Amino acid sequence: MDNCIKIASRSSVLAKIQAKLVGERISDKYPNYQIEYHWIKTTGDLDQRLDISSGSTVGVFTSDISQRIISSEFDMAIHSWKDYPIADNGKSKIYGTLERADLRDVLLLKNKLKTLESKERIQIMTSSPRRRYSLEQNLIELVPIKFNKINFLDLRGNIDTRLKKFINDQNTDGIVIAKAALDRVINTDMQEAQSLKEIIFKCLKESHWMVLPLSSFPSAPGQGAIGIEVANNNKKTIELVKNINNKPIYDNVTEEKLIMSDYGGGCSQKIGVSVWNKNEKMIHSLFGITESNKKLKNFSIVRSTSEQTINTKVKKNEVFPKNKEEQNIFERSDVNKNQSLNKLKSTLIYITRKNVLENRPIFDASCILWTSGLKSWRAANNLGYWIHGTSDSMGETEIKSIQTFIGENFPITKLTFKNDDIPKVKTIDVYELNNPKFPDDMANRKEFFWMSSLAFKTALEQYPEIIDKQHACGMGNTFKKLKKIITNEEKLDCYLSYESWFNNLQD
């Protein structure tokens, strides 16, 4: 049949969900086409003895299906793009993708692990060399338990198999799973996924779960993305796929694969690389170690994805703030709200700064703790709080990424300063800002970085002439607010941090 599209995919629940997402998109775009699904067990599915962390097993979840695409048995194959080999086979390739799910990993640690407990070692299930290396280097700063070593346990199988092993193995403390996999199962209405959905919620309920930040734990290239493979000679299907392709996501994954190819590619690498867009910026995160023991660490904005680029030639001694002393515009005074905080239940508590927990509130176990960045996560961890994740300096809108875990109606309470202007979010003021002070030559400074919209508005009241100067801020809520005041787009830019902005200036 000329109007029939034959889609091939692995036979796991997650693979079927992804294949049907593509099928539904095709049906929306081409309602006259008939979609026919074919489920296939690959070498990686059938042989549980394979060491998938070895470079010799590249493509064990995709190659069998690829051959049947190349032979024209099927029109297209749907893969988890991270499983697809970086090397081109010359006969077929990924021609398109859809919207990307969450790039990040989720770490589940069993509730038996207690706050500030000391252990000789903790045991975590993951076969990924990338995940193992990142956890070894970074986990100690993110969990409020003391341990000397992480013992990793090999793990194979589909998501349901892995989660069941995690639940039933009494000697296991943790497991790492791609958040995209959990989200897609939770969000599907497919009846076949209902039992797996129950297992996921059971694991979330019985664990200290945390979403690992991309700044320190970048993912495998293509993680969270669906790859649509077509034979190179199938021009009709290639054109169809290009018409449903999400080009920005396609370009990001292509960039990730290209970066990884410089280090050899494959699942055997202890390297993570993630590329994503925010505020019309392309952001890279790279972390790991090469086979020659070269350490890799980079978290930066690499370029603007819009035509608008701001290129100033301002020197470091001409800006505000030009040092740590100038960053402290206000005098801060704590406000003890523990009586209110201790009563909160089933609430997402947004921790804006490391100082908001100085009075040591005791949160109910039903609460979710989320931080604005890694500094506030580390500070809360040192006080013994279990943190579930961070906005990674990307702004409060990042909280919505965990709605699949907590539900859309889960209330949010932000711990902030008195009179912080946060629409639609409940706030509890745990500190006050008073007596703002600026340098005597404030009006003569050429460029400004603002830690908050309040700081900008306070300065603008005293020095209205600075509105026409160059301004910068972080990626989140401050940027959104300043855009409403600074209407000239060429006068406002955003950065990952004050340090990244300052280092971009001339000496």
Q: Are 408 and 465 members of one domain?
A: no
Q: Is residue 272 part of a domain?
A: no
Please tell me the predicted confidence (pLDDT) of residue 376: 96
Q: What is the DSSP string of 356-419?
A: GGTT-----TT-EEEESSHHHHHHHHHTTPPP-EE-TTS-GGGGGGGHHHH-TT--EEEEEETT
Instruction: Tell me if 11 is assigned to some domain.
Output: yes
Decide which of 387, 407, 434 is a domain's last residue: 434
* Domain containing residue 32: 4-101+224-265
Residue 260 backbone phi and psi in degrees, to 5: -65, -30
Residue 61 pLDDT: 57
Q: How many CB atoms lie within 10 A of CB 452?
A: 22
Domain CATH code at residue 355: 3.40.50.10090
Same domain for 477 and 423:
no
Contact present, 245 and 229 (Cβ < 8 Å): no
Cα torsion angle, 34, 40, 42, 45, sign: positive
Assess if residue 161 is contained within a domain: no
Tell me if 367 is assigned to some domain. yes
- Indicate whether 44 and 16 sit together in one domain: yes
Q: Does residue 322 share a domain with residue 337?
A: no
Same-domain check for residues 493 and 424: no
State the pairing for strand pair 281-289/295-304: antiparallel
Q: Which helix (H) or strand (E) holds 64?
A: helix 63-70
Instruction: Assess if residue 152 is contained within a domain.
Output: no
Same domain, 321 and 351: no
What confidence score (pLDDT) does residue 271 get? Answer: 97
Determine the Cα–Cα distance for residues 67 and 356; give it in Å rounded to an integer: 57
Look at residues 376, 407, 434 and tell me which one is the last residue of a structural domain: 434
CA distances from residue 463 to 130, 310, 319, 498 in whole angstroms, order as listed: 50, 23, 15, 22
Instruction: Pick the last residue of a domain from 376, 409, 434.
Output: 434
What is the residue-level pLDDT of the chain in tens, covering all 507 positions? 478 999 999 999 999 999 999 999 999 999 999 999 999 986 555 445 544 444 444 455 577 899 999 999 999 999 999 999 888 889 999 999 999 999 999 999 999 998 888 999 999 999 999 999 999 999 999 999 999 999 999 998 889 999 999 999 999 999 999 999 999 999 999 999 999 999 999 999 999 999 999 999 999 999 999 999 999 999 999 999 999 999 999 999 999 999 999 998 766 799 999 999 999 999 999 999 999 999 999 999 987 776 555 556 799 999 999 998 999 999 999 999 999 999 999 999 999 999 999 999 999 999 999 999 999 999 999 999 999 999 999 998 899 999 999 988 899 999 998 776 655 678 999 999 999 999 999 999 999 999 999 999 999 999 999 999 999 999 999 999 999 999 999 999 999 999 999 998 988
For 35-84, how does the pLDDT look when each residue is reduced to its tens digit (9 = 90+)? 999 999 865 554 455 444 444 444 555 778 999 999 999 999 999 999 99
Are 232 and 381 contained in the same domain? no
The Cα 46–Cα 314 span in angstroms is 60
pLDDT at 60: 56
Does some domain include residue 68? yes
Q: Do 416 and 346 have their domain in common? A: yes
**Together in a domain, 474 and 355:** no
* Cα dist from 424 to 396, 397, 413, whole Å: 12, 12, 10
Asked whether residue 287 is domain-assigned, the answer is no
Residues 317 and 342 in one domain: no
The tally of domains found in the chain comes to 3
Shared domain for 416 and 448, answered yes or no, is: no
Give the pLDDT of residue 409: 87
From edge to edge, which strands make up the β-sheet containing 146-153?
Answer: 146-153, 118-125, 174-178, 105-110, 207-211
Say yes or no: 322 and 453 in one domain. yes
Assigned domain for 291 exists: no
CATH number, domain with residue 97: 3.40.190.10
Q: What is the pLDDT of residue 45?
A: 52
